[in-house]
Amino acid sequence: MQKPEPMKDQVPWATIGLVLLWYGTNIGVLLLNKYLLSNYGFKYPVFLTMCHMTACSLLSYAAIAFMKVVPMQSIKSKRQFLKISALSAVFCFSVVLGNVSLRFLPVSFNQAIGATTPFFTAVFAYLMSNKREAWLTYATLVPVVAGVIIASRSEPSFHLFGFIMCVSATAARAFKSVLQGILLSSEGEKLNSMNLLMYMAPIAVVILLPATLLMEENVIGNTIALARNDIKIVWYLLFNSSLAYFVNLTNFLVTKRTSALTLQVLGNAKGAVAVVVSILIFKNPVSIIGMIGYLFTVMGVVLYSEAKKRYG
């Protein structure tokens, strides 16, 4: 009698591929933003954000309406539309500030500050909805903040304005996530992230267009003049804007295949990968103490995720 062959573990290649694609788009858009705004000299972060939002508007509609990536969800009331508009304004604010910070800070330090998002999320959740966490969960936020303080004090490329912009962007991202939970909490108003992006992105374009024209003088004329001298800027902007959409798409698909908690863990690792890649590409100086500070922050975020999983 033949023994049954042991079943071979199937490798989830599709999930691994999606995670790698998510890493690639996330790190790619971050590095390309840095290159354009700092190294290339394209000093228009608001216009760049508007390009991102325009691509997200067009591509998200195409993905939902034609490719059926997710079922189309409709806005059911004026009140829901106003809530989405408020979220869009905060979202715009966070992305613009993040792009502004990349003009002045290296990607490695930008990622270290961005890792403090759980701290701001816990603060806003308490202030806005009186949501309290277990004391151990709050304790894990100490190394998150301490790590950034250590990294800031020893960052060779520290820039005060860039630092303020990056902290503000991180706080705005956390504020948006808490606000989203409050505003779209009822079952009738909940939208999946892809539909929410489809409605938020065009509202963001409407907000960003006058802001671009007011804050970045003659940006359209200067970009056209730049394109005449170097056509590569057109391809950079098109590729960069498309990547910005695929960051959101791959984020959604990875969450769907795994879980929000797995995404959080993968996100921590992604931040570390982005730091290493950016240092290799841009060769920005880093200090040992600064890297220790960043490791402190990442360790705190990992502990925070574990505490949230255990204590809710």
- Minimal CA–CA distance to 99: which of 64, 50, 148? 50
Question: Cβ-count burial of 311 within 10 angstroms (0-12 exposed, 13-18 middle, 19+ buried)?
Answer: exposed
The pLDDT tens digits of the residues spanning 153-177 come to: 889 999 999 999 999 999 999 999 9
| Structural domain contains residue 2 | no
What are phi and psi for residue 227, nearest 5 degrees? -65, -35
Which pLDDT score is estimated for 12? 81
Which pLDDT score is estimated for 4? 54
pLDDT band at 231 (very low <50, low <70, confident <90, very high): very high
pLDDT band at 312 (very low <50, low <70, confident <90, very high): low
- Tell me how far apart the alpha carbons of residues 298 and 145 are, in angstroms, rounded to a whole number: 10
| Structural domain contains residue 1 | no
| Structural domain contains residue 4 | no
Per the structure, the count of domains in the chain is 1
Q: What's the chain's Rg over C-alpha atoms? A: 21
Which pLDDT score is estimated for 90? 95
Give the largest CA-CA distance in the chain: 83
243-253 burial, b for 16+ CB within 10 Å, e for fewer?
bbbbbbbbbbb
Output the CA angle 194-198-202, nearest 5 degrees: 155
Per-residue tokens: 286: 């880093």
Which pLDDT score is estimated for 256? 84
| Structural domain contains residue 10 | no
Which pLDDT score is estimated for 268? 74
| Structural domain contains residue 228 | yes
The angle, 0 to 180 degrees and rounded to 10, between the axes of the packed helices 107-114 and 78-104 is 140
The angle, 0 to 180 degrees and rounded to 10, between the axes of the packed helices 117-129 and 141-153 is 130
The pLDDT tens digits of the residues spanning 273-311 come to: 898 899 999 888 888 999 999 999 989 888 888 888 787
| Structural domain contains residue 223 | yes
CB 210 within 8 A of CB 156: no
* Structural domain that includes position 64: 16-311
- Tell me how far apart the alpha carbons of residues 286 and 295 are, in angstroms, rounded to a whole number: 13
Does position 8 have pLDDT exceeding 90, yes or no?
no
| Structural domain contains residue 38 | yes
| Structural domain contains residue 196 | yes
Per-residue tokens: 128: 């806005």
Does position 100 have pLDDT exceeding 80, yes or no?
yes
pLDDT band at 105 (very low <50, low <70, confident <90, very high): very high
- Tell me how far apart the alpha carbons of residues 40 and 230 are, in angstroms, rounded to a whole number: 11
